[in-house]
């Protein structure tokens, strides 16, 4: 009774498809919305049952995230001068005073250094390697490419113990450099393969024209190939950043003090002064921001990037 066409779906089909997409979006976004709202709840609201959808917003979670606090007696509290800032006031309402900053800022900074550092290094090395694989006669090229890919054929954590021992011997445990190198090692195979696809698509003639025009091979690469590969570089960078930003297992295993990133740190907030879910949620919310900003900045490249390099014409 109805005819099917590839080009024009019926209004019913559109309606079904739309509903499915929205349902999927709701299901995926719901946990994020929950985390976002929990961050602005008071500790009591956060654990209320049934859960509160409407609540009085509070910044207590964010204050707790960034501070360490000490409980004081009401008499001591009375003796103190009045609170100088709004966050001191929030803390004093709970019979506590701010003892100092928490380590969240530090851990967050570690995440930024390690995440962006390894992303930069992976994309930088990956671009050079991909260019070489794409353009030059590399001995055993196919075997090398397969070897590079084979490093992804098991979960990286499967080699956790050798890496742990190696890092201890080399003094890389709990260092920024160690984590950057580790994440780069994991990401670089993805970077090489993705970028090789993109660079393969760029006709050689562009570089040859630049060589003829009096530029060196490196200048031709830098001035002609790189701008052409921008899309691929951007989408590769997003994939690399998402991995190294979110990585948890190695971060737990290999960092504890100086180089600890935010993912292993956030759960430890739970233990500080009871189950402080709003602080955990606040930490998680803030942790999402850099990747979201980075992805939004590069998003126009991303969609084209996913489909562009993959399809051979």
Partner 1 sequence: MAEIVIRNLRKDFGDFTAVQSSSFKIEDGEFFMLLGPSGCGKTTTLRMIAGLELPTSGEIYIDGEEVGQRPASQRDIAFVFQMFALYPHMNVRKNISYPLVSQGMPKSQVAEKVAEVARILGITDILDRPVGGLSGGDRQRVALGRAIVRDPKAFMMDEPLGALDAEFREHMAEELRALHDRMGATTVYVTHDQLEAMQMGDKIVVMNHGVIEQFGTPQDIYDKPATMFVADFIGSPPMNFLRFHGEVHAGSSRVKMHHEELEVPRLMEPFEGDMVFGIRPEHITLSDSGSFRGEVMAAEYLGTTQIVTMKTPSGELKARIPSDQPVRAGEFAGLEFNGSTVTLFDNQSGRALRSELNEGVLAHG
- In the complex, which residues of this chain contact partner 1 (CB under 8 A)? 203, 205-206, 208-217, 219, 224, 227-228
Q: What angle do CA 180, 151, 227 make, to 5 degrees?
A: 60
- Distance of alpha carbon 156 from alpha carbon 179, whole angstroms: 13
Cβ distance to partner 1 smaller for residue 212 or 296: 212
Q: Are 196 and 163 in contact (CB under 8 A)?
A: no
- Neighbouring residues of 112: CB distance < 8 A, sequence distance ≥ 6: 290
Through-space distance between the first and last CA atoms of the chain, rounded to whole angstroms: 38
Which whole-number Å values give the CA distances from 71 to 17, 68, 270, in the listed order?
55, 10, 17
What phi and psi, each to the nearest 5 degrees, are found at residue 68?
Answer: -110, 145
Q: To the nearest whole angstrom, how small is the minimum distance from the Cβ of residue 211 to partner 1?
A: 4
Cβ distance to partner 1 smaller for residue 163 or 210: 210
Which whole-number Å values give the CA distances from 189 to 77, 162, 185, 195, 294, in the listed order?
58, 20, 8, 10, 22
Q: To the nearest whole angstrom, how small is the minimum distance from the Cβ of residue 207 to partner 1?
A: 9
Cβ distance to partner 1 smaller for residue 151 or 219: 219
Cβ distance to partner 1 smaller for residue 71 or 204: 204
Cβ distance to partner 1 smaller for residue 88 or 200: 200
Q: To the nearest whole angstrom, how small is the minimum distance from the Cβ of residue 250 to partner 1?
A: 39
Q: To the nearest whole angstrom, how small is the minimum distance from the Cβ of residue 206 to partner 1?
A: 5
Q: To the nearest whole angstrom, how small is the minimum distance from the Cβ of residue 210 to partner 1?
A: 8
Which whole-number Å values give the CA distances from 123 to 62, 174, 192, 219, 285, in the listed order?
34, 23, 8, 19, 27
Cβ distance to partner 1 smaller for residue 125 or 211: 211
**Does residue 273 come out as left (phi exceeding 0), alpha (psi in the -120 to 50 range) or beta?**
left
């Amino acid at each position: 009774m109805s005819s099917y066409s590839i080009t024009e779906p019926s209004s019913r089909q559109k309606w079904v498809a739309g509903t499915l997409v929205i349902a999927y979006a709701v299901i995926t976004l719901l946990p994020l919305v929950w985390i976002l709202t929990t961050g602005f709840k008071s500790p009591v609201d956060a654990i209320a049952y049934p859960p509160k959808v409407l609540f009085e917003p509070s910044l207590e979670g964010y204050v707790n995230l960034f501070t360490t606090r000490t409980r004081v007696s009401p008499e001591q509290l009375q003796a103190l001068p009045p609170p100088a800032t709004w966050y001191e006031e929030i803390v004093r309402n709970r019979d506590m005073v701010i003892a100092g900053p928490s380590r969240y800022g530090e851990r967050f900074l570690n995440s930024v250094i390690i995440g962006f550092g390894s992303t930069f290094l992976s994309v930088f090395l990956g671009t050079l390697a991909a260019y070489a694989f794409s353009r030059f006669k590399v001995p055993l090229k196919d075997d090398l490419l397969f070897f590079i890919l084979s490093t992804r054929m098991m979960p990286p954590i499967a080699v956790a113990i050798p890496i742990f021992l190696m890092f201890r011997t080399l003094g890389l445990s709990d260092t920024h450099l160690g984590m950057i190198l580790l994440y780069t090692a994991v990401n670089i195979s993805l970077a090489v393969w993705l970028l090789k696809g993109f660079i393969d698509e760029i006709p050689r003639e562009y570089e040859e024209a630049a060589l003829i025009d009096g530029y060196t091979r490196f200048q031709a690469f830098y001035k002609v190939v790189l701008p052409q590969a921008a899309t691929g570089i951007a989408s590769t960078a997003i994939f690399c950043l998402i991995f190294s930003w979110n990585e948890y297992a190695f971060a737990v295993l290999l960092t504890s003090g100086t180089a600890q990133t935010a993912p292993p740190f956030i759960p430890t907030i739970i233990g500080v002064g009871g189950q402080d879910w709003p602080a955990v949620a606040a930490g998680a919310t803030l942790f999402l921001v850099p990747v979201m900003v980075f992805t939004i900045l590069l998003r126009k490249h991303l969609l084209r990037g996913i489909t562009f390099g993959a399809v051979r014409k």
